[in-house]
Amino acid sequence: MKNIYLDNAATTALRPEVIDKMTEVLHNNYGNASSTHSFGRSSKSIMEQCRKTIASYFNVSAAEIIFTSGGTEADNLALRSAVRDLGVIEIITSKIEHHAVLHTAEQLQKEYGVKVSYVELDDNGTVDYNHLEVLLKGDTKKLVTLMHINNEIGNILDIKRVADLCIANNALFHTDTVQSVGHYHIDLQDIKIDFMAASAHKFHGPKGVGFCFIRKESGLKPLIFGGEQERGYRAGTESLHNIVGMDEALKFAYQNIESESAYVKDLKKYFIDSLNNKLAGCHFNGASGDLDKSTYTLINVCLPLPPEKAAMLQFQLDLKGIACSKGSACQSGSSMASHVLSAFLTEERLQRPSVRFSLSKYNTKEEIDYVVETLCEFAKS
Among residues 231, 255, 279, the one where a domain terminates is 255
Q: Are both 137 and 170 inside the same structural domain? A: yes
User: What is the chain's length?
Assistant: 381
Domain that holds residue 300: 4-12+257-380
Q: Residue 327 has what pLDDT?
A: 58
Q: Which long-range contacts (CB under 8 A, 24 or more apart) does 78-81 make?
A: 78/145, 78/174, 78/194, 78/195, 78/197, 78/212, 78/214, 78/220, 79/104, 79/105, 79/108, 79/143, 79/145, 79/174, 80/104, 80/108, 80/223, 81/220, 81/221, 81/222, 81/223
Residue 72's SS3 state is helix
Q: Are both 174 and 211 inside the same structural domain? A: yes
Q: Are both 8 and 21 inside the same structural domain? A: no
**Interatomic CA distance for residues 272 and 219, integer angstroms:** 46
**Is 348 within 8 Å of 126 (Cβ atoms)?**
no
Q: Are both 287 and 339 inside the same structural domain? A: yes
Q: Are both 340 and 294 inside the same structural domain? A: yes
Report the CATH number at residue 264: 3.90.1150.10
Query: Which CA distances in Å does 172 have to 7, 123, 351?
Result: 33, 27, 38
Q: Are both 67 and 181 inside the same structural domain? A: yes
Q: Which residues are marked as active site?
A: 330
Q: Are both 201 and 160 inside the same structural domain? A: yes
Residue 210 backbone phi and psi in degrees, to 5: -160, -160
Among residues 255, 286, 304, the one where a domain terminates is 255
Residue 176's SS3 state is strand
Q: Residue 380 has what pLDDT?
A: 87
Q: Are both 94 and 223 inside the same structural domain? A: yes
Report the CATH number at residue 60: 3.40.640.10
Q: pLDDT per position in the chain (381 positions), as tens?
A: 789 999 999 999 999 999 999 999 999 999 999 999 999 999 999 999 999 999 999 999 999 999 999 999 999 999 999 999 999 999 999 999 999 999 999 999 999 999 999 999 999 999 999 999 999 999 999 999 999 999 999 999 999 999 999 999 999 999 999 999 999 999 999 999 999 999 999 999 999 999 999 999 999 999 899 999 999 999 999 999 999 999 999 999 999 999 999 999 999 999 999 999 999 999 999 999 999 999 999 999 999 998 788 888 989 999 999 999 985 444 444 456 799 999 999 888 888 899 999 999 999 999 999 999 999 999 988
**Is 288 within 8 Å of 124 (Cβ atoms)?**
no
Among residues 222, 255, 288, the one where a domain terminates is 255
Beta bridge partners of 356: 300, 325
Q: Which long-range contacts (CB under 8 A, 24 or more apart) does 56-61 make?
A: 57/185, 57/250, 57/254, 58/186, 58/187, 58/188, 58/196, 58/213, 59/187, 59/188, 59/189, 59/190, 60/188, 60/189, 60/213, 60/215, 61/216
Q: Are both 179 and 265 inside the same structural domain? A: no
Q: Are both 246 and 281 inside the same structural domain? A: no
Q: Are both 230 and 333 inside the same structural domain? A: no
Residue 115's SS3 state is strand
Alpha helical stretches, state H, 58-123: 71-86, 99-112
Look at the chain and report how many structural domains it folds into: 2
Q: Are both 105 and 249 inside the same structural domain? A: yes
Model-level pTM? 0.95
Torsion of CA 277, 313, 379, 339, to 10 degrees: -60
